[in-house]
Amino acid sequence: MSDNKPSYLSDFLQSPGNVSLLLGGVATAVFLSFPYGLLGAAFPLLGTLALEFVACLFVPDMTTFRHWADTRRGKQHRVEHTQRVMGEIRRRCSSPNQFRKYEEGHRAIAQQVASLLELAGKKPGTLRLEDLERIADVPSEYLGLHLSLMVMDERTSAIDLKDIHRKLDHIVNQIDDPRAGSDIRQLERARDEYEALIARHQRMLSKRTAIEAAIVALPDQLAEIYQIVMGESTQNDGARLSGAIASLRLRQDIESEIAEDISGAIPSPTTKRTGDAASVRSAR
């Protein structure tokens, strides 16, 4: 767990504001070195280092800075995850036209999310930080759901259920009527493996139906949240907004469950951002 803890000190040192501060101090030192020599350059350098030391002590623990750092880290993770999933989808597409359809679908979802986040920014307090992050994850998760379907299709095409059932029946017959020298334990193990394979296949088909429904419903869910946030806030709208956000959670639960079942075949989602909202809340 500690390995995943974000380094806010590192975030501060690499932040644009801190880099600008250091460059400004160096530039000032160089400028003053011409008329005053090394003594003139020493004062701005020492002042910059002192200011940097004080900032390193306090800024990384500030709630506002941690929120900024978590937001930037989340954006970076989403971009990286989207690129990885896009690469996996492109590799599995049979033609450029097929891949273009996924790109267009992702672009449409990303535009919906961008509009919703922009509207939420104009109405602070309408959505919680966790909800904003969950909504921001939607475009990359949309691609993840499509990739899950493609992986499922690959696994389904690689399994001949009729042949598996035939082999299973043969093994069951051998167990029921064993021949001399038969290893019953090995036969039972083979039977259990085939039965587990069939069960996994059936679960995969059921989950495929759930994923297809989640993909189709996603644009409407985002549109519903947008309409609620855009309208005047009422008690009933609060309940509707909670229900719409809960639908997004359900869709993300489906993707997480699928990712566990087909782990290794698709890139890991980056929604497990280290720190993020939890670290901000703890800092408060």
Q: Per-residue pLDDT for 234 more than 70?
A: no
pTM of the model: 0.69
* Residue linked to tokens 């290893």: 183
Q: Per-residue pLDDT for 167 more than 50?
A: yes
pLDDT-derived band at 214 (thresholds 50, 70, 90) equals confident
CA atoms within 13 A on the CB side of 168: 15
Q: Which of 129, 128, 115, 113 is nearest to 238 (CA)?
A: 128
* Predicted pLDDT of residue 236: 58
* Predicted pLDDT of residue 126: 83
Between 177-186, 202-211, 275-284, the lowest mean confidence (pLDDT) is in 275-284
* Predicted pLDDT of residue 281: 43
* Predicted pLDDT of residue 110: 95
Dump pLDDT digits (tens) for 49-95: 999 999 999 999 999 999 888 888 888 888 998 999 999 999 999 99
CA distance 109 to 215: 10
Give 155 or 117, the one with higher predicted confidence: 117
Dump pLDDT digits (tens) for 187-204: 999 999 999 999 988 888
Would you list the DSSP string of 94-152? SSHHHHHHHHHHHHHHHHHHHHHHHHHHHSTTSS-HHHHHHHHTHHHHHHHHHHHHHHH
Q: Which of 120, 157, 103, 141 is nearest to 266 (CA)?
A: 141
CA distance 157 to 167: 18
* Predicted pLDDT of residue 263: 55
Q: Per-residue pLDDT for 283 more than 60?
A: no
Between 45-59, 219-233, 235-249, the lowest mean confidence (pLDDT) is in 235-249
Q: Per-residue pLDDT for 270 more than 50?
A: no
Q: Per-residue pLDDT for 255 more than 70?
A: no
* Predicted pLDDT of residue 277: 44
* Predicted pLDDT of residue 279: 43
Dump pLDDT digits (tens) for 111-138: 999 999 999 888 888 888 888 888 998 9
pLDDT-derived band at 233 (thresholds 50, 70, 90) equals low
> How many of the other CB atoms lie within 10 Å of CB of 274?
15
Give how far the C-alpha of residue 198 lies from the chain's centroid of Cα atoms, to the nearest Å. 30
Dump pLDDT digits (tens) for 16-42: 999 998 999 999 989 988 888 888 889
